[in-house]
Chains A and B, each alone.
Chain A
Amino acid sequence: MQYNQFIKGARTFASIYRRNKSGLLGLALLLFFVFTAIFAPFLAPYDPYKRVDRPILPPSSKYILGTNDIGQDIFSEMIYGTRVSLSIGFMAAFFTVTIGTLIGVVAGFMGGTIDEILMRFTDVIMILPSIPLLILLMALFGKQSFMIMILAISILGWTGTARLVRSSTLSIKERIYVEAAKAIGAGDRHIITKHILPNVSPLIIATMIYQVAGAMMSEASLAFLGLGDPSHKSWGMILHYAQTSGGWYANMGYPAWWWIIPPGLCVALTVTSLVLIGQTMEEIINPRLRRR
Chain B
Amino acid sequence: MAYIMKRTASRLITFAVVISLLFFLARSAGADPFERYLSEDPRIPLEQIERLRARFGLDKPLHLQYFDFLWNTLNGEFGYSLYYKRPVFDVVMERLPYTLFLMGISVVLSTIVSFVIGVYFAYKRGTKIDTWGTNICMFVRSTPHFWLGMILLIVFAYYIPIFPLFGALTPGVQHENWFEFLKDLLFHYTLPLTTLLVRQIGMYVLYMRNSTVEVLGEDYMVTAKAKGVPKMSIMFKHAARNAMLPMVTVTAMRFGFMVNGAILTETVFSLPGTGRLIYQSIMNDDFFLLQGAFFIISITVLVANLVADLLCAWLDPRIKI
Contact = CB atoms under 8 A, between A and B. Distances in A.
**Is there any pair of Cβ atoms, one from A and one from B, under 8 angstroms apart in the complex?**
yes
Interface of A: 21-22, 25, 116, 120-121, 123-133, 135-137, 139-140, 142, 213, 217, 220-221, 224-225, 239, 243, 248, 255, 260, 263-264, 267-272, 275-276, 279, 286, 288-289, 291-292
Nearest to A239: B147
Nearest to B281: A132
Contacts of A142: 29
B294 A224 contact: no
B279 A135 contact: yes
B110 interface: no
B144 A267 contact: yes
Most buried by B among A124, A125, A133, A292: A124
A120 B14 contact: yes
B298 A128 contact: yes
Contact of A120 (B10, B28, B147, B257): B10
B213 A289 contact: yes
B14 A123 contact: yes
Contact of A271 (B142, B151, B263, B279): B142
A289 B134 CA distance: 14
10 contacts: A124-B15, A127-B256, A128-B298, A129-B298, A130-B257, A131-B279, A132-B263, A225-B267, A267-B142, A269-B139
Contacts of B147: 220, 224, 239, 260, 263-264, 267-268
A129 B146 contact: no
Contact of B214 (A123, A275, A289): A289
A272 B199 CA distance: 12
Closest 7 CB pairs of A and B: A129-B259, A264-B147, A271-B142, A140-B29, A139-B29, A268-B143, A272-B142
Given A121-B17, A140-B28, A267-B144, A135 B282 contact: yes
Contacts of B29: 136-137, 139-140, 142
Interface stretch (B18-26, B34-42, B52-60, B73-81): B18-26
A67 B259 CA distance: 35
Interface in B251-290: 253, 255-257, 259-260, 263-264, 267, 275, 278-279, 282, 290
A263 B146 CA distance: 12
Contacts of A292: 125-126, 217
Contacts of A132: 259, 263, 278-279, 282, 290, 294
A131 B263 contact: yes
A224 B264 contact: yes
Interface in B221-276: 253, 255-257, 259-260, 263-264, 267, 275
Contacts of B290: 132, 136
B18 A289 contact: no
Contacts of B256: 126-130
Contacts of B151: 260, 264
B10 A248 contact: no
Interface in B271-321: 275, 278-279, 282, 290, 294, 297-298, 301-302, 305
B167 interface: no
Contacts of A243: 150
A262 to B, nearest CB: 11
B72 interface: no
B243 to A, nearest CB: 12
B25 A22 contact: no
Nearest to B282: A135
Contacts of A130: 256-257, 260
B106 interface: no
Given A116-B10, A139-B29, A255-B154, A129 B144 contact: no
Given A124-B15, A260-B150, A292-B217, 9 more contacts: A128-B256, A132-B278, A132-B290, A139-B282, A140-B25, A239-B147, A255-B154, A264-B144, A272-B139
B139 A128 contact: no
B26 A136 contact: yes
Given A123-B14, A127-B256, A255-B154, A213 B267 contact: no
Contacts of B267: 225
A132 B289 CA distance: 13
A279 B301 CA distance: 28
Given A121-B14, A126-B253, A136-B282, A131 B25 contact: no
A218 to B, nearest CB: 9
Contacts of A271: 142-143
A217 B144 contact: yes
Nearest to B142: A271
A215 to B, nearest CB: 13
Contact of A129 (B214, B257, B305): B257
Contacts of B10: 116, 120
B183 interface: no
A291 B131 CA distance: 11
Contact of A136 (B25, B142, B257): B25
A248 B14 CA distance: 44
A291 B217 CA distance: 10
B301 A129 contact: yes
A221 B146 contact: yes
B135 interface: yes
Contacts of A270: 142
Most buried by A among B142, B143, B294, B297: B142
B260 to A, nearest CB: 4
B188 interface: no
B11 interface: yes
Contact of A291 (B18, B126, B143, B297): B126
